[in-house]
């Protein structure tokens, strides 16, 4: 990766080439599309490369573990829980790679945190849902996607028809609350055709 960037700067004097390169990778899509699985895969590869890594998750997400990021298939890595996005600054100060899971549960301040860390030379890998249970944009993911160098859109499989799924069907829980943490008991992945918008959209 560094060689790619060096090629880009090859016309500059040697002392003009930045000593560090930071960037943002966003992994997004619906629930059950493998976002966390892909996040953990990238973190593991960075660890194999002996890069200093830190993995964080929002405090609100305690579905499978309080101190690990866990996929729906129970693959996991140790993680630090944070209540506010600005706490990530301190946790990331000695790391080259910063992984953030369930980014949709942070507020809009996450965008500034992620961009500042990338500007300081760190690699940010951010995973989160891009649309809510009403199929509307789920902040802060859209803005993170706009500022990212790399965006990966994951697709799930519709439980009704087997087509590619991009929607999060809430099958139980509050009909209006946007931030409702759940897994298989509360949500299904559905395609555009099989998705049933909630009756109450306000």
The C-alpha torsion from 70 through 140 and 142 to 89, rounded to 10°, is: -70
Q: Which of 37, 102, 177, 185 is catalytic?
A: 102
Give the 3-state DSSP-derived string for 85-98, with helices as H, strands as E and coil as C. HHHHHHHHCCCCEE
Question: How many Cα atoms are found within 13 Å in the side-chain-facing hemisphere of 105?
Answer: 19
DSSP string, 36-52: HHHHHHHHHHHHHTT--
**Per-residue CA distances from 46 to 42, 98, 149, 156 (Å):** 6, 10, 18, 25
Q: SS3 breakdown of the chain: % helix, strand, coil, rounded to 5? A: 25, 25, 50
**Known catalytic residue: 102?**
yes
CA distance 4 to 141: 27
Q: ∠ CA 104-110-116 to the nearest 5 degrees?
A: 145
The catalytic site residues sit at 102
């Amino acid at each position: 990766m560094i060689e790619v960037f060096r090629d880009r700067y090859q016309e500059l004097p040697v002392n003009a080439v930045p000593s560090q390169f930071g960037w943002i990778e966003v992994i997004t899509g619906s629930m059950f599309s493998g976002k966390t699985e892909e996040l953990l895969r990238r973190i593991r590869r960075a660890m194999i490369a002996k890069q200093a890594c830190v993995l964080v998750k929002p405090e609100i997400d305690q579905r499978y573990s309080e101190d690990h990021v866990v996929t729906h298939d129970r693959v996991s890595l140790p993680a630090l829980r944070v209540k506010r996005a600005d706490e990530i600054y301190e946790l990331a100060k000695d790391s080259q790679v910063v992984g953030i899971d369930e980014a949709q549960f942070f507020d809009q301040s996450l965008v500034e945190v992620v961009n500042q860390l990338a500007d300081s030379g760190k690699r940010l890998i951010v995973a989160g849902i891009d649309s809510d249970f009403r199929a509307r944009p789920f902040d802060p993911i859209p803005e993170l996607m706009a500022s990212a160098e790399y965006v990966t859109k994951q697709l799930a499989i519709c439980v009704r028809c087997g087509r590619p799924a991009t929607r999060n069907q809430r099958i139980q829980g509050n009909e209006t609350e946007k931030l409702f943490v759940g897994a298989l008991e509360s949500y299904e992945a559905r395609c555009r055709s099989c998705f049933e918008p909630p009756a109450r959209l306000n």
